[in-house]
Structure 1
Amino acid sequence: MAAADEQFRPRRSVLYMPSSNARALEKAKSLPCDGLILDLEDAVAPDAKADAREAACAAAASGDYGRREVTIRVNGADTAWHDDDLRAASQAGPAAIVVPKVASAEAVHALVDALERHGAPDHTTLWAMLETPRAMLHAEEIAGASERLSVLVMGTNDLVKELYAEHVPGRAPLLTGLSLALLAARSTGKAVLDGVYNDVKDTDGFLAECRQGREMGFDGKTLIHPGQVEGANAAFAPSEEAVEQARGILQAWEDGRGSGVVTYQGKMVENLHVESAQRTLTMHEAIAALD
């Protein structure tokens, strides 16, 4: 349990923040999100890229964001800003560098080489955004390409566009891709974050999508508005009932050690139930430590 506690990091709510907006960067210091993605890509206009890069790197290196996991999203490899972004972000040493549109193991290898070449500290990992059909079909190769890659991030808006699909309740057009990415993450021991929900005024729809993501197995959700943080935190944390049940299972397992058959509330308890209960308590304790 101790080793699991040390390795587990809650990522229930990971909020994109435009690095060109000084007010947003300041507000992020007080938000109860588990992680921040200081954005240099979609949220930043071309003529503001250089200033945003400087602001994001200063913020990431400041130590002013407490227990939040601070990452920087660079511009994609096909843009003029990519190399400068990678160099500056590596030297700033955030918790991770988030790269959009990663679609192959070769791209991961190139990114890891660039981080090492630019002097990124060991604690700075790589988060790969999966946003295209090709990425979904090669998700396991991408996830397993490097130990430095720690998190897969779903880019659902771009995936919808690439599929010629539509945003619909239940996300039926995306379920195959989401499932492939989840399988890849779990088979390689990586974390995986669900994509964003676009309508910040549709609370019911957002919460339904959070529940769906949690039920599918995602570790948390990427967000575009501070008002979404509380809902994601609740959805991706174990419920009080789940925590109580996990404690009961572990106690029954301990009490019945050596008896051959262990039951809890009339149901047989096996190793797989014990492992799930341990993970639930690990999550609960890690979240409690943050709070």
Structure 2
Amino acid sequence: MTEPRRSPTDLRLRRSVLYMPGSNQRALDKARTLPADALILDLEDAVAPDAKEIARDQVCAAVKSGGYGDRELIIRVNAPQTPWGEQDLKAAIEAAPDAILMPKVSSPAVLESIANRLEALDAPESIKIWAMIETPASILNIKEIAAAKRAMPEARLTCLVLGTNDLAKDTWAQIVPGRVPMLPWIMFALAAARAEGLTILDGVFNDIEDVDGCRTECRQSRDLGFDGKTIIHPNQIEPANTSFAPTADEVARSRKVIEAFDLPENARKGAIKVDGRMYERQHIGMARRAVAWHEAISARDG
């Protein structure tokens, strides 16, 4: 598969990352026309045991045949200890997606094992690893898991994906509006990802008919600091894409801040006032990020 086209700002957009069941050929075909930033072609939770092999064949054929434009393609395989895990990994490596999403990454030892398998199977360097953070042990070990990007480069870790449904199942935490029971775990995982320069994606919103509820949770995800949200239905793409985009006011304000700090008379100032509000030099990076995201989104959607 050819290297995905990059935006002018070289940012990888992952506002909306859509799970597509690998056993549904119609869904795999439809995904070629959907405006999601990335697609997770699923061999795990979305596929019944008796459909695992056909899902594997269909997903790998879809990746090889292409036609998805510049969307990032990720294959979620079954865990190595399952009856399908080893064959899933071999087939996924042969198909050469952008990344392979590994479920139940509960410790750095899981990533070490994956790294060994990638080497043994001569996986192309272009294939990266995404890790599902979906068990209590994942949360307790999140600092060490995230640090594998730096300490274990052969594991190719680039992205963490929260599995909030599995976390709720294992902890008995309730999934409620605002997700108060889960916020400590969510923010702990996010801090670990940011400390190591990893992308991190929020878990799914389950009610596919509640578009307003999805939009609210997407906005919460964005405010918390996530790069994007994993979603499970095409009608969740628009709420995710718009929620993770800076508003016109944010972009305009960011440009004003950048321009103000670039003025010669402000070259040595640590803080300045713009439109009645004080900004420190640390705000320049935030402003540049907002403008860069806006430009990347404009290039992608335009």
Per the shorter chain, which TM-score range?
over 0.9
SS at match of 1:196: coil
CA contact (8 A) 2:161 2:200 kept: yes
Gaps of 5+ in 2: 1-6
CA distance in 2, matches of 1:157, 1:27: 26
| Comparing 100-109 and 263-272, the one that deviates more | 263-272
1:123 and 2:123 are equivalent in the alignment: no
Per-residue deviation, residues 201-243 of structure 1 (Å, max 9, x unmatched): 1122211111111111011000010110001000011111111
1:152 and 2:160 are equivalent in the alignment: yes
- Runs of 4 or more, structure 1, over 4 Å off, are none
- Decide which of 254, 267, 283 is 1:258's aligned counterpart: 267
Map 1:1-291 onto structure 2 (within 5 A).
5-6=9-10, 8-146=11-149, 147=153, 148-255=156-263, 256-260=265-269, 262-291=272-301
CA distance in 2, matches of 1:43, 1:12: 21
In structure 1, what residue type is equivalent to 2:9? D
CA distance in 1, matches of 2:43, 2:115: 19
Per-residue deviation, residues 89-126 of structure 1 (Å, max 9, x unmatched): 01111010001110001111111221232222112110
CA distance in 1, matches of 2:118, 2:254: 40
CA contact (8 A) 1:133 1:177 kept: no
CA contact (8 A) 1:103 1:130 kept: yes
Per-residue deviation, residues 21-66 of structure 1 (Å, max 9, x unmatched): 1110110000000000000011111121111111111212223100
Aligned length: 289
SS at match of 1:5: coil
Cα displacement (A) at 1:259: 4.7
CA contact (8 A) 1:129 1:154 kept: yes
CA contact (8 A) 2:8 2:296 kept: no
Q: TM-score, normalised by structure 1?
A: 0.95
CA contact (8 A) 1:29 1:64 kept: yes
Gaps of 5+ in 1: none
User: Cα gap change, 1:164/1:4 in structure 2, threshold over 3 Å: closer, same or farther?
Assistant: farther
Cα displacement (A) at 1:165: 1.6
Find the counterpart in structure 1 of residue 3 from structure 2.
Answer: none
CA contact (8 A) 1:91 1:118 kept: no
CA distance in 1, matches of 2:54, 2:234: 23
SS at match of 1:128: strand
In structure 2, what residue type is equivalent to 1:24? A
CA distance in 1, matches of 2:273, 2:293: 24
In structure 2, what residue type is equivalent to 1:264? V
Cα displacement (A) at 1:4: 9.8
Cα displacement (A) at 1:5: 2.5
CA contact (8 A) 2:272 2:279 kept: yes
CA distance in 1, matches of 2:191, 2:98: 24
Cα displacement (A) at 1:249: 0.7
In structure 1, what residue type is equivalent to 2:16? S
Percentage identity across aligned positions? 50
In structure 1, what residue type is equivalent to 2:166? D
Per-residue deviation, residues 109-148 of structure 1 (Å, max 9, x unmatched): 1112212322221121100000011101111111111341
